[in-house]
Amino acid sequence: MEATALVQYLTDSAGGQLSQVLANLDETQWDAKLEGAMSPREVVIHCSECYAAGLASLRGESHEWGTYSPVPGGPAELLAEMKRLRSALVDGALEAGTDAALKSIVDYVALHDAYHVGQLVTLRSQLDPAWNVYSIYEP
């Protein structure tokens, strides 16, 4: 497997897990959190900023952390914007195809998403002990 294909696989896998762990949260669960961790809403906004920072990096620009303003609306709008920014970053980096671009989506997307998936799986299992923690591996 070549590097580009491997990076695509990593981002697809992490993205699928992130989508699955956020799927079917009820309105009260979007703001639930464990001590020292982010709520699902905060994770979605944070990941959106991370993807925006990655896009800036691809353009050769810097990003000032904490300046991202989330789109107005509820969970559906926040998720749609997160997915839009994520896709733009992944597509742009894969199109660039440089080592730096591929490394950026490993850092800004694949590894970062996986980190937050782990936090969210722990939260979901605490909120709903019947929730299947292995559901993140479903397509």
Q: Give the count of beta carbons closer than 10 Å to the beta carbon of residue 121.
A: 18
Single pTM value for the model: 0.94
pLDDT tens for 86-137 read 999 999 999 999 999 999 999 999 999 999 999 999 999 999 999 999 999 9
Domain ranges of the chain: 3-23+38-63+71-137
Q: Which residues of 10-45 are buried (b: 16+ CB within 10 A; e: fewer)?
A: bbebbbbbbbbbbeebeeebbeeeeeeebbbbebbb
Model pLDDT, residue 22: 97
